[in-house]
């Protein structure tokens, strides 16, 4: 349940992931990602065939955010495909392979090609396994990246890293989200601010008794 509540909160707060991004896909298939991608580029063609992963399965994307690159490049877009994991789920091999499968599906489907677009794929949780840490040791890649080719990059992110990266936009939340960059992730504040979404959710170090009327 924590992950689904966190999903709702992040869908309402896309500013957390970067300036000027707007929500374009929420809990939809890769086929919907293609439809939105083409629509953002002003291309009106039917999408009759599903987008599938390399193994033939249909992937469901948690969030896709989109923004225009800038005034000097009005026809260029940037997308972030985000895979959210429950805070208790450490990012390991299966989580990394999942986000890679989305990226490779986009790379292998020719309908995504030929348009001026930057693609970023993120998997986010609290902690990393030793497998993820080894993936991050690859040379000649930006910090946090585990794959980069042409206009596509795959990233591993933790909530503490995202909060640290966005401190300049989180000044008004500083007291509530001033985590020590360990296992704390600001969910207590989000729970209070978004009580309608987090009712009944028990966070770490809380007891069930606190929620019994």
pLDDT, one tens digit per residue, over 3-44 is: 788 888 889 888 888 878 999 999 999 999 999 888 887 777
Q: What are the tokens at 22?
A: 């707007």
Whether pLDDT at 126 is above 60: yes
Which residues have C-beta within 8 Å of that of residue 23, sequence separation ≥ 6?
11, 14, 63, 64, 65
Q: What are the tokens at 198?
A: 């987090």
State how far the alpha carbon of 107 is from the alpha carbons of 38, 103, 118, 121, 126, in Å.
15, 6, 12, 12, 28
C-alpha to C-alpha distance for 118 and 116, rounded to whole angstroms: 7
C-alpha to C-alpha distance for 160 and 155, rounded to whole angstroms: 15
**Residue in the block written with tokens 């805070």:** 87
Whether pLDDT at 75 is above 80: no
pLDDT at position 165 is: 77
Question: For the chain, what are the domain ranges?
Answer: 2-162
Of the candidates 84, 106, 108, the one whose C-alpha atom is nearest the C-alpha of residue 36 is 106
Banded pLDDT at 213 (limits 50, 70, 90):
very low
**213: helix, coil or strand?**
coil
Of the candidates 175, 200, 176, 180, the one whose C-alpha atom is nearest the C-alpha of residue 188 is 176
> If you average pLDDT over residues 92-118, what whole number do you get?
91
pLDDT at position 183 is: 39
Whether pLDDT at 58 is above 80: yes
Tell me, rounded to whole angstroms, the distance of Cα 195 from its chain centroid.
22
pLDDT at position 196 is: 59
Among the four given CATH numbers 3.40.50.300, 1.10.30.50, 3.40.1350.10, 2.40.30.10, the one describing domain 2-162: 3.40.1350.10
pLDDT at position 191 is: 59
Banded pLDDT at 76 (limits 50, 70, 90):
confident
Instruction: Give the containing element (helix H, strand E) for 10.
Output: helix 2-11
pLDDT at position 71 is: 62
């Amino acid at each position: 349940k924590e992950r689904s509540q966190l999903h709702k909160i992040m869908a309402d707060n896309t500013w957390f992931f970067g300036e000027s991004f707007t929500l374009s896909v929420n809990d939809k298939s890769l086929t919907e990602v293609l439809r939105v991608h083409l629509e953002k580029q002003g291309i009106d063609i039917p999408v009759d065939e599903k987008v599938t992963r390399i193994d033939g399965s249909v992937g469901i994307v948690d969030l896709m955010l989109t923004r225009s690159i800038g005034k000097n490049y009005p026809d260029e877009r940037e997308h972030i495909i985000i895979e959210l994991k429950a805070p208790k789920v450490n990012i390991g091999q299966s989580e990394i392979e999942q986000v890679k499968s989305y990226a490779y599906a986009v790379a292998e489907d020719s309908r995504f090609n030929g348009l001026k677009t930057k693609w970023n794929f993120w998997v986010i949780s609290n902690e990393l396994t030793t497998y993820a840490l080894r993936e991050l040791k690859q040379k000649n890649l930006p910090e946090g990246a585990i794959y980069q080719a042409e206009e596509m990059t795959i990233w591993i992110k933790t909530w503490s890293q995202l909060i640290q990266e966005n401190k300049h936009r989180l000044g008004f939340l500083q007291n509530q989200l001033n985590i020590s960059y360990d296992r704390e992730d600001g969910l207590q504040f989000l729970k209070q601010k978004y009580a309608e979404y987090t009712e009944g959710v028990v966070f770490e170090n809380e007891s069930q008794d606190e929620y019994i009327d």
